[in-house]
Amino acid sequence: MADTFTLGGKEFSSRFILGSGKYSMELIRAAVEQAEAQIITLAVRRTNTKENENILDYIPENVTLLPNTSGARNAKEAVRIARMAREIGCGDFVKVEIMRDSKYLLPDNQETILATKMLADEGFVVLPYMYPDLYAARALEEAGAAAIMPLAAPIGSNKGLATKEFIQILIDETDLPVIVDAGIGRPSQACEAMEMGAAAIMANTAIATAKDVPAMAEAFKNAIIAGRKGYLAGIGRVLERGASASDPLTGFLRD
């Protein structure tokens, strides 16, 4: 049986979601190819009439576009951006990102829940970027999210799984796919998140800022596959050091 996961009725075999920021157009193409990514995120911005280069020309046909709502500071703005993204005409996936803090760029869970509800009601496939909080995750599930995207560390920080314990709780307690987003700086960190049972990894800065972009995209791809296989295989036994010498606990049993 193929190991796939489903978002909004679409089945994906690649568990690597690639961000397309901070690259030249040519490098985006190379990165997507080496990553074998099936989902790529995009932002919505005012159209520049001077440069007629369209990013869509650099993204392979069969890749699902995941526009984000970056720039939104509240639910209403996120909904407006999502509607514009859908109107451009590349499907109804949307990654809700709402930040009201320009220093750390941390997502605002409350506004994100509101936006998720409004967009899901309008038929969007909503993937909210969130701070890994169990109550927020449940509210997002209730609101109709297709997956949740908790942050591993502050965006662009490359610090890895700073929120590991909390992401594990989300993986254990919600029925939605958990896509670890933001802060993943190295292939080994992506691998670790997959070993924990994450459904997918979203990364951008780590690849875009590497010395060799296509090579790093490939390294992430392999790390994600390795982590997923490790998860499915069942992480092995860690030997406990030192024997416990106390009396048996079950010595009292009779019949």
Partner 1 sequence: MVQINGKMEKASGVCLLDYLTQAGYNLVGIAVERNEEIVSKADYDKVFLEEGDVVEVVSFVGGGSR
Partner 2 sequence: MNCEENNEKKENSFYVDSDKLSEKALEKKHRLENDPSSRTDPFEYMEGMERIDSNIMNQVISQMDSYDYSKYTAQDVLYALQKETCDIEDFKALLSPAAAPFLEQMARKAKLETSKHFGNTVYLFTPLYIANYCENYCVYCGFNCYNDIKRKKLSTEEIEHEMKVIADSGIEEILMLTGESKTMSDIHYIGEACKLAKKYFRNIGLEIYPVNSEDYAYLHECGADYVTVFQETYDAAKYETLHLMGHKRVWPYRFEAQERAILGGMRGVGFSALLGLADFRKDALASALHVYYLQRKYPHVEYSLSCPRLRPIINNDKINPLEVHEKELCQVICAYRIFLPYIGITVSSREQEHFRNGIAKIAATKISAGVSTGIGDHESKYTGTEEANSEGDEQFEISDGRSFDQMYADMSNEGLQPVLNDYVYV
62 binds, among partner 1, partner 2, none (CB under 5 to 8 A by kind): none
Q: Is the CB of 63 or the CB of 169 nearer to partner 2?
A: 169
Burial profile 60-71: b = 16 or more Cβ within 10 angstroms, e = fewer: eeebbbbbbbbe
| DSSP conformation letters of 208-242 | HTSSSHHHHHHHHHHHHHHHHHHHHH---PPPPSS
Hey, CA dihedral for 10, 16, 22, 24, is it positive or negative?
Answer: negative
User: How many Å apart are CA 164 and CA 162, to the nearest integer?
Assistant: 6
Interaction residues for partner 1, span 46-75 (CB under 8 A)? 46-47, 49, 52, 54-56, 65, 67-68, 70
Q: Does 48 bind partner 2 (CB under 8 A)?
A: no
Tokens 């193409």 -> residue: 29
Q: Does 138 bind partner 2 (CB under 8 A)?
A: yes
Q: Does 204 bind partner 1 (CB under 8 A)?
A: yes
Polymer length of the chain: 255
Residues that bind partner 2 (CB under 8 A): 134, 138, 168, 172-173, 175, 234-235, 237-238, 244, 248-255
Residues that bind partner 1 (CB under 8 A): 18-23, 25, 28, 40-47, 49, 52, 54-56, 65, 67-68, 70, 80, 83-90, 105, 155-156, 182, 202, 204-205, 208
